[in-house]
């Protein structure tokens, strides 16, 4: 079942040409302008998996900051996430998919606070909700 938005808070707009092999992408406001090339190609530019890794980790930090006051946990100033987004074949090579690992660093919090914060954020994070049930997501708390 597809969940409909109750209200649109923001819409990102971009324009992409050429795809992951020698393409380019720009945001409508000009804040993002990237060259695209395949992972491991050695060519200049980034790839969709790197962009997804940064987007997911930034969104997850935002989700932690959003839920923290509700559960009486303060997100550390030096919160960090190392994100890995893996690309590979699925269904015996008939399709491709991704898998995600977020290594979440929350210095200064005890283990119970870390776990509560990460689990609560995972329930509200837009990327977590978009991938749930479709993409393998591992949350590793440091």
DSSP codes, 69-113: GGGT-PPPTT-EEEEEEEEEEEGGGTEEEEEEEEEEE-TT--HHH
Query: Is 14 in contact with 24 (CB distance < 8 Å)?
Result: no
CB 106 within 8 A of CB 75: yes
Q: What tens digit of pLDDT does each residue of 79-136 get?
A: 999 999 999 999 999 999 999 999 999 999 999 999 999 999 999 999 999 999 999 9
Predicted model pTM: 0.94
| Average pLDDT in the chain | 97
pLDDT in tens, 24-68: 999 999 999 999 999 889 999 999 999 999 999 999 999 999 999
Are 45 and 10 within 8 A, CB to CB?
no
């Amino acid at each position: 079942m597809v969940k409909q938005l109750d209200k649109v808070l923001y819409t990102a707009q971009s324009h992409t040409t050429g795809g992951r092999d020698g393409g380019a992408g720009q945001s409508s406001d000009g804040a993002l302008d990237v060259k695209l090339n395949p992972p491991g190609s050695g060519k200049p530019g980034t790839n969709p998996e790197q962009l997804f890794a940064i987007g997911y980790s930034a969104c997850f930090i935002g989700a932690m900051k959003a839920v923290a006051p509700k559960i009486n946990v303060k997100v550390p100033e030096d919160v960090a996430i190392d994100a890995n987004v893996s690309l590979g074949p699925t269904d015996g090579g008939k399709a491709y998919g991704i898998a995600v690992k977020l290594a979440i660093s929350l210095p200064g919090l005890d283990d119970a606070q870390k776990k509560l914060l990460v689990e609560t954020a995972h329930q509200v994070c837009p990327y977590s909700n978009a991938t749930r049930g479709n993409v393998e997501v591992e949350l590793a708390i440091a």
